[in-house]
Amino acid sequence: MSSLTETIKNRFGVPDFYDGEWYSIKCPLHNDDTPSAGLNFESKMFNCLSSCGAMPFIALAKKLDIDYSDIETVNEDFNDFLNDLIEDQTKSRPLVLRKQVEAYTNFLLERKIKPETVEEFGGYYVSDESHQDYGYLVVPYQTSKGTKTVRRRIAGNGDRFKQSPNDGDGDSKALFGKGFNNYNTVILVEGITDLFTVWEHHKNVVASFGCKFTKQQGYLLRNKIVFILYDRDYEGFAGAKKAAEILREFNCTVIILEIPETFSDGTTNKIDANSAYCFDSNRFFGWLQSELNRYSSYDRAYIIDTFKPNSIEDSNKLCQFKTGIDGLDSILNGGFASGIHGIKGRSGIGKSSLVAELTDQASDQGLRVLSLSYELSKRQMWSRQASRYSMHNFAEIEKDSSILEMEAFNKINELGNNVKIELGWNIDQIIAAIDNFEVVIVDYIQRMEFEGSDTRKGIDLNMGKLSNLARDKNKIIFIISSMAEGQDNFKESGSILYMCQTAFCLKRINANTLVLSNEKNTRGKQGDNIYLDVDFGHQRAKECSPPELKEFVK
């Protein structure tokens, strides 16, 4: 059986190649000697200019008992709504009104706004040519002086609605919403379209008629908790900041929400609630709900999202990898997991060898690694990785890379799919790239560029931002640090140990044996020592039994 469009074409003999706006036919609903009706295959509308009026194809098919397949999804409720808009067709100019209604319906469809929502707010479309609001979508709202209306004019097919002028007493002193006074917490958006969007899931939403928030509007929200959800552009950013200042004057608790730029295809700098919803409706409301849940008085939503049995969502999985060192994995309850992990040791003791081991282990388990060096060159770093698979040591490979065996070359070439080595990155560069990696290794933190001239404060600031990335992005971040001379603490900073989920101190026992002492562990017990037999020439480390401690060599 053919689709509805194909069936209508066959029924009225319309050529398959026809691509005009309207195809004239004799009206099948009354005795029609000359063609007085038309078919529009773009909007799927039928219109009789004589007496029968306009209706969607699905309604015409019902009237004519036409059978068709259901491969074209047609929302009957929506079409009923459109029919109500085209009232008293014989008294209006059909072509003009038809274009206006088509533009209005396109607006609703493109923005995924339900007609029922417009009606719920008392909105209506005026199709009476004699009315002063002919061709407008009219939505009433309350001000201190009574009911006023905001009107949206259809400027042309597919264009945005434009707000009609007001007398200066309306928008700047009022808020658009329904029953928001009944809520202690409200979501503040810029425009009516954004409000209609959010209303589908959250009834405690109110619109400020743009981003120029006034004190009169702030007074209407006094003593409430307000989440500001303005557009993601300069005007929205500045407007949200100003609105927050005003709201705090009226004893409001204010939280500004910025819609992530991931809700855009990259073609515009402006993202609002409606465009984000149209881009990915489920993800947008999921994001919004998670932001609101962060400030709720209970954790039920978090528990459901995070601990739901048999969930297959990647977001529910803790980012973690095994080190291949059994004793270390045992201490860590399965391996290094998301968070900050500090490793300190004297200069030249073997921290970079441990970094090479961790890089390989993480990559072998499918994690993407960003390894940042502030001391070694990129050639040195990759030579160290290559030596793990070669008969040549890393110094020989660095000196002449052509000696690398094909098998070793293939191995590091494969490793390059998951591992990126960069030199001297600052914190902003890390933040820009963080979404592309699960593991970040900073070797070493004291040499990372920092703000200001105070070394300790600069390191602490970088550490704070790295800690936020690990927490908010579910990342595993290693902080490699030298120890201060004569001390066992992290050099030039007290914040590293404080912010770490785990902290280890690396010391040398003899020429090839290192001990990794656990000083902090938030996911298990602490205080254990792991002994490592290290092949420095080939950057390999494996667990070994404690040696006889006859002599301690630093």
pLDDT tens-digit readout, 152-198:
554 433 333 334 444 444 456 788 888 888 898 999 999 888 999 99
Q: State residue 298's pLDDT score.
A: 62
The mean of the pLDDT values for the chain is 81
Cis status of the peptide bond prior to 389, with omega within 30 of 0: no
Q: Quick one: average pLDDT of 406-430?
A: 93
Please say if the pLDDT value at position 525 is more than 70: yes
Q: Quick one: average pLDDT of 210-239?
A: 93
Structure pTM? 0.53
pLDDT in tens, 37-58: 888 887 778 888 777 777 878 7
Poorest-confidence range of 132-136, 173-177, 237-241?
132-136
Report which of residues 535 and 33 the model is more confident about.
Answer: 535
Q: State residue 134's pLDDT score.
A: 63
Q: State residue 336's pLDDT score.
A: 95
Q: State residue 74's pLDDT score.
A: 43
Q: Cα separation of 150 and 251, whole Å?
A: 29
Please say if the pLDDT value at position 273 is more than 50: yes
Band the pLDDT of 532: cuts 50, 70, 90. very high
Report which of residues 24 and 368 the model is more confident about.
Answer: 368
Q: Quick one: average pLDDT of 479-492?
A: 66
Q: State residue 135's pLDDT score.
A: 61
Q: In terms of C-beta density within 10 A (0-12 exposed, 13-18 middle, 19 or more buried), how is residue 228 classed?
A: buried
Structure tokens at 66: 């036409």
Q: State residue 89's pLDDT score.
A: 40
> In this structure, are residues 40 and 21 in contact, taking their beta carbons and an 8 Å threshold?
yes
Q: State residue 535's pLDDT score.
A: 94
Please say if the pLDDT value at position 332 is more than 70: yes
- Domains in the chain, CATH or no CATH each: 4-125 (3.90.580), 175-301 (3.40.1360.10), 320-543 (3.40.50.300)
Q: Cα separation of 385 and 364, whole Å?
A: 13
Q: Quick one: average pLDDT of 380-396?
A: 95
Please provide the DSSP assignment of 249-284 as one string.
HTT-EEEE----TTSS-SS-S-B-HHHHHHH-HHHH
Q: Quick one: average pLDDT of 516-530?
A: 87
Q: Where are the alpha helices (DSSP H) in 75-208?
A: 76-85, 94-110, 115-120, 192-199
Q: State residue 364's pLDDT score.
A: 94
Question: Could you tell me which residues come within 8 angstroms of residue 59 by beta carbon, excluding any fewer than 6 positions away?
Answer: 46, 79, 83
Q: Which residues of 107-118 are buried (b: 16+ CB within 10 A; e: fewer)?
A: bbeebebbbeeb
Q: State residue 164's pLDDT score.
A: 41
β-pair type (336-337, 339-345): unpaired
Closest CA to 502 of 326, 316, 329: 329
The amino acid that residue 283 corresponds to is R
Highest mean pLDDT among 79-93, 131-145, 447-461, 485-499: 447-461
Band the pLDDT of 326: cuts 50, 70, 90. very high
Q: Quick one: average pLDDT of 63-79?
A: 59
> In this structure, are residues 229 and 206 in contact, taking their beta carbons and an 8 Å threshold?
no
β-pair type (225-228, 185-189): parallel
Please say if the pLDDT value at position 551 is more than 70: no
pLDDT in tens, 250-259: 999 999 999 9
Please say if the pLDDT value at position 85 is more than 80: no
Q: What is the dihedral of CA 506, 507, 512, 513, to 10 degrees?
A: -90
Please say if the pLDDT value at position 341 is more than 80: yes
Q: Quick one: average pLDDT of 478-486?
A: 75
Q: State residue 438's pLDDT score.
A: 95
Q: State residue 419's pLDDT score.
A: 94
Q: Quick one: average pLDDT of 545-553?
A: 62
Report which of residues 140 and 184 the model is more confident about.
Answer: 184
Structure tokens at 133: 């609001």
Q: Residue 161's Cα: distance from chain center in Å?
A: 28
Highest mean pLDDT among 131-145, 171-185, 531-545: 531-545
393-402 long-range contacts, Cβ below 8 Å, gap at least 24? Answer: 393/537, 393/538, 394/537, 394/538, 394/539, 395/537
